[in-house]
Amino acid sequence: MPSARKITRRVLLTGAAGTAVTGTALAGSLSGVLPGRSALRRRLGIGQVEAGVPDAGGDDPHYATFASTARGRPVTWGWAVPPGHDPDGLPVVLVLHGRGDDAHSSFEHLGMHQYLAAHVSDGGTAMGVVSVDGDETYWHPRADGDDPIAMIAGELLPRVADLGFSTRKIAVTGYSMGGFGSLLLAREAAHGRFGAAGQLVAAAASSPALFASAGATSAGSFDDAEDFATYGALAGQPGTKGLPLSVSCGVDDPFCAQTKRYRAHCDPAPDGGISDGAHTMDYWRSRVPGQLAFLGEHLAST
């Protein structure tokens, strides 16, 4: 009969050390110290956000297309109003989509028309929601002549006004690439490079696609290092001159660190914050009610 293994002090200490390392790795991953944090948290069901589009009886969005001189291509845009309203005199929230999406995504995936209906039903400011194609420009002028900022200011907003909306004051929101675009428009407006003086009154961003350096950018998001220095280096220098902001990101989002950095450089501190969530449509939907309330408040009070 084989004898039982003798448990020596060395074996005991080795086993304890292994357990300690495993525990440290697990704790490190969960706290963000070690790689694999987001994947591990997903597997454990930690920090996940689910948010479906509300069934609030929102009116169907409308779409149209125009030939954009500023972008050198056809551009589709969409708009929605709260149930029981028409565009006449309503202020406008512009919604900028993420990379790979288009003007339809703000309604078909994010559900802005339904959130708008719920917002107004709960007593929020009545306003219109407008979306537009940005392709993968990262919402800034590109070396090939494609200029989405000029398109929005000089081509889209006049068409919005022609429908009866008031464009005397507007707000902007966006997610991912569109979140970056929202913060970029806020900076450009603050420096007199977008819209009329005082036209943009507030901006909101969910999971803004902010990069630490030109070398860290995703392929095609900027033309070169100079282009990034001009338009992309927002995280360390927001430059919005106190324009009201709401900036949010999930802790499991790859842009969380740069979003924290952006928020830390803002004065005053932005609304929103860092909370559970990842780079998902569920997370972006979860932010919409609060952002509509924030933007509506500033549209109504200025």
* Rounded mean pLDDT, 22-47: 51
Query: Do 165 and 20 share a structural domain?
Result: no
Query: Do 165 and 22 share a structural domain?
Result: no
Angle in degrees, 0-180, between the axes of helices 37-44 and 9-31, rounded to the nearest 10: 90
Structure confidence at residue 135 (pLDDT): 97
Q: What is the pLDDT of residues 91-137, one digit of tens each?
A: 999 999 999 999 999 999 999 999 999 999 999 999 999 999 999 99
Residue 54 placed within a domain: no
Query: Do 140 and 105 share a structural domain?
Result: yes
Query: Do 85 and 234 share a structural domain?
Result: yes
Q: Token match 């990262």: residue? A: 138
Question: Is the pLDDT score of 29 beyond 70?
Answer: no
Query: Do 25 and 128 share a structural domain?
Result: no
Question: Is the pLDDT score of 16 beyond 50?
Answer: no
Structure confidence at residue 48 (pLDDT): 77
Owning domain of residue 36 = 9-44
Structure confidence at residue 62 (pLDDT): 98
Query: Do 166 and 38 share a structural domain?
Result: no
Contact 248, 179 (CB under 8 A): no
* Rounded mean pLDDT, 224-237: 97
Task: pLDDT band for 39, please (50, 70, 90 cuts).
Answer: low
Q: Token match 């992309």: residue? A: 232
Q: What angle do CA 208, 211, 217 make, to 5 degrees?
A: 115
Task: pLDDT band for 40, please (50, 70, 90 cuts).
Answer: low
Query: Do 293 and 233 share a structural domain?
Result: yes
Question: Is the pLDDT score of 12 beyond 80?
Answer: no
Structure confidence at residue 249 (pLDDT): 98
Average pLDDT value for the chain? 89
Task: pLDDT band for 76, please (50, 70, 90 cuts).
Answer: very high
Contact 130, 155 (CB under 8 A): no
